[in-house]
Amino acid sequence: GAVVSQHPSRVICKSGTSVKIECRSLDFQATTMFWYRQFPKQSLMLMATSNEGSKATYEQGVEKDKFLINHASLTLSTLTVTSAHPEDSSFYICSARDGSRLAGKRNEQFFGPGTRLTVL
Amino acid sequence: DAKTTQPPSMDCAEGRAANLPCNHSTISGNEYVYWYRQIHSQGPQYIIHGLKNNETNEMASLIITEDRKSSTLILPHATLRDTAVYYCIVRVDYGGSQGNLIFGKGTKLSVKP
C-alpha cells in the first residue's frame, strides 16, 4: 500500500518549547491530511483535518493556536505543538487521503507510523 | 462518539480463524464499514472495507449481514503477528464526499501459540 512517513519518530522536549512534526505522503498526492492524538491505552482522537492550500478544520476542544497545522503541498503537512506542556505528551499520528482518481485507489486513507512526544 | 460496538478483547489460537464481530445498528445507506488494526506503538493499518457485499482480500474477509446492522472480520489463519487492536468504523462515502475516520475503542485481539 501507499506510504506515509512521519518525522521525527520520537521527541523529548522541555516544557515551554515548540515542537514541529512532519508528515509526508511518499508515493501519492494527499489532497487531505488528518492529525490524530492517542493517549496511553486510549483510542485515536481526531484533532484536525487539512486540505492542501487551505486552513485546517479543528475538532471541538482542540486549540488551533496551540496546534498549528500547515498543509503547504500535496505531499507535506506539519503539526507544530506550541509552548508544549507535560499534558501534551502523547502519540501523534498523521493520515493522508489519496486523491487519485485511479480505480481502486480513490479516497483511500493511509496512516503514518506516529510520533511519540514527551514533554518534561 | 463511535457508531460501532465491539467486544473489548478476544483471544485466538495461532493457526485458527479469528472472527471479530462489530455491531453498527444505526448505519445509514451511504456508510461503508471499514476495518483498521493497530499494532502496539504503530500507526493504524488498513485491512478491508465494504458496503453490503462480502469482501475478501489478501489479509482478511469481511462478512456484512443482509440488514447491514453488523459485520464480522475474519482472519482465516491467525498468526502471532496479528495480535493488535482491531477497529471497526463506519464512514460516509457518497458522491465524492467522504466522512472522517472516527475510532472507537476497538477489540484487542491476542493470538496465542
Q: What's phi and psi for A19, nearest 5 deg? A: -130, 130
Q: Quick one: which of B41, B45, B43, B39 has its CA closest to B58?
A: B45
Portion 43-72 of B in contact with A at CB < 8 A: 43-46
As a whole number of angstroms, the distance between CA A2 and CA A10 comes to 22
Q: Determine the residue among A109, A110, A115, A116 to mutate to test chain B binding: the one whose Cβ has the most chain B Cβ atoms within 10 Å.
A: A109
Asked if B34 contacts B90 with a C-beta cutoff of 8 angstroms, the reply is: yes
The beta-carbon neighbor of B102 closest among A46, A95, A112 is A46
Q: Is B87 within 8 Å of chain A by CB? A: yes
Q: How many CB atoms lie within 10 A of CB A89?
A: 17
Please determine, for residue B2, whether its predicted confidence score (pLDDT) is greater than 60.
no
Q: Quick one: which of B26, B53, B48, B34 has its CA closest to B93?
A: B34
As a whole number of angstroms, the distance between CA A96 and CA B34 comes to 16
CB atoms A113 and B42 under 8 Å = yes
The type of residue at B2 is A
| pLDDT (0 to 100) of residue A54 | 83
- A27-73 pLDDT, tens digit per residue, is 888 889 999 999 998 999 999 999 888 889 999 999 999 999 998 88
Q: What's phi and psi for B11, nearest 5 deg? A: -115, 150
Q: How many CB atoms lie within 10 A of CB A78?
A: 19
CA B43 to chain A, closest CA, distance in angstroms equals 4
Q: Quick one: which of A69, A72, A74, A67 has its CA closest to A25?
A: A74
Q: Quick one: which of A72, A64, A25 has its CA closest to A48?
A: A64
* B28 or B99, greater pLDDT: B28
- B34-90 pLDDT, tens digit per residue, is 999 999 989 999 999 999 989 999 999 999 999 999 999 999 999 999 999 999 999
pLDDT band at residue B92 using 50, 70 and 90 as cut-offs: confident
| pLDDT (0 to 100) of residue A52 | 82
The beta-carbon neighbor of B93 closest among A45, A95, A107 is A107
Asked if A41 contacts B107 with a C-beta cutoff of 8 angstroms, the reply is: no
Please determine, for residue B94, whether its predicted confidence score (pLDDT) is greater than 80.
no
The type of residue at B73 is L
- A66-119 pLDDT, tens digit per residue, is 999 998 888 999 999 999 999 999 999 999 988 765 545 556 789 999 999 999
Provide DSSP, A90-116. Answer: EEEEEEEEE---STTTTT-EEE---EE
As a whole number of angstroms, the distance between CA B8 and CA A110 comes to 24
